[in-house]
Amino acid sequence: ILNLIDYEMDLQNAVEAPRIWTEGGVLEVEDGFSADICDALVSLGHEVSRVPRIAGGMNAIKFNQDGSITGSACWRADGVPIGLGGGLARAGVGFSVN
């Protein structure tokens, strides 16, 4: 959601964007991040470990303004988003950020 709202990415790019994971003291940083980003994290005192992939796939469905549905899946795991229904998405379905 952060990538959609703050970085105005489309749905596919948002679910495929590089990830950072931490469980403990080390930041696992996917290879998609530049060396400059990793260096900046190290300069802030973080221990950084570059990894090719952080586990866990993501699927997402977006309700578009015209009532249609867009689905996206990332490359990290098998999966496919499926929007089922009798037609276009219901009017007024969505979320807002206050």
> Who contacts 52 (Cβ-Cβ below 8 Å, separation ≥6)?
30, 31
Range with lowest mean pLDDT among 13-17, 62-66, 73-77 = 62-66
C-alpha distances out from residue 70 to 59, 86, 88, Å: 11, 15, 11
Residue 31 half-sphere exposure toward CB, CA atoms < 13 A: 4
In Å, the largest CA–CA distance within the chain is: 53
pLDDT bin (cut points 50, 70, 90) of residue 47 is very high
Q: Are 75 and 16 in contact (CB under 8 A)?
A: yes
- pTM here is 0.71
Q: Where are the domains of the chain?
A: 2-56
Provide the 10 A C-beta neighbour count for residue 15. Answer: 22
